[in-house]
Amino acid sequence: MLKVEGLRAGYGAINILWDISFSVDAGEVVAILGSNGAGKTTMVRAVTGMVRPTAGSIQFEGEELAKKSSRFILDRGIVQVPEGRQIFTEMTVLENLEMGAFNKATRAAFSKNLDVAYRHFPKLKERAKQAAGTLSGGEQQMLAVARALIGMPRLLILDEPSLGLAPNIVDDILEVASGMAKRDRIAVLLVEQDITKALACADRGYVIENGRIALSGTAEALSANEHVKKAYLGI
């Protein structure tokens, strides 16, 4: 579904990603792993068009997206839950979710998708009229995920959903994402620093180090890998 090859990107004169290749298929949860500063978020920004790649290709269902605008890519169904959530804190929960409907199709299906989002995260329904900034960190992360679901993703990208959250909340969020991958056959790209959690939920994974893919394989193979154990799991 998504096939990235030889992706190179950065900010101005500073290059961050050197040569990134990976793929995600429908119905699959793929983890992109790496420590702080490895280039994970830059990769997300390059795939979603918020940073213009300097080389390489990003193919989504056969269409080249590498030079396209973030809006164009969003319209193709690549929706992200960004790092740091990026919700609208002074707007209500419901207004935040409304903002997730970014085009005609998603606006037409809004009430149906809102029900789905509320079913996944009932807390949000209780707090629909509350300002988003008054929610707890976990609820804000749920809101960011729910906002992405309103956009009817075909590829859902989660950037560091575990950051600063209690483990059980992270589990809930990852369960929703992997449930959607299996049930609705969407592709999920999980970008994480918490490798244990990510590999527990993912089918396959890639490890980024210094802007390059250092390792790849099934979740089991990566969990068993000596380098991963030593460098990331502290075993």
Partner 1 sequence: MEIFLQACVNGLLMGGFYSLMGMGQNVIFGVMKIVNFCHGEMLMVGMYLTYVLSTTFGLDPYLCVPFVAIIMFCLGAVIQHTLITPSLGTKSFTNLLFLTVGLGLLLSNGALVIFGSEYRTIPTSYAQTYIGLGPVNIALPRLISFCVLVVISVVLFAFLKYTTTGKQIRAVSQNPVGAEVVGINARRIYILTYGIGTALAGVAGALLTGFYTIFPTAGASFGFRALIVVVVGGLGSIPGAFFAGIFLGLLETMVALFISPSYSDLIVFITFIVILVVRQMIIIRRK
Question: Would you count residue 131 as binding partner 1 (CB under 8 A)?
Answer: no
For Cα atoms 208, 72, 46, give the angle at the middle one, nearest 5 degrees.
Answer: 20
40 binds partner 1 (CB under 8 A): no
Q: Is 134 in the site for partner 1 (CB under 8 A)?
A: no
The stretch among 84-92, 119-127, 169-177, 226-234 that binds partner 1 (CB under 8 A) is 84-92
Q: What's the closest the beta carbon of residue 80 comes to partner 1, in angstroms?
A: 6
Q: Which of 122, 184, 178 is nearest to 152 (CA)?
A: 184
Q: Using the rule CB under 8 A, which residue among 59, 88, 216, 231 binds partner 1?
A: 88
Q: Contact 6/19 with Cβ under 8 angstroms? A: yes
Q: 169-208 mask for partner 1 (x: CB under 8 A)?
A: ----------------------------------------
CA end-to-end span of the chain: 35
Footprint of partner 1 (CB under 8 A): 48, 50, 70-71, 74-75, 80, 82, 85-91, 95, 98-100, 102-103, 147, 151
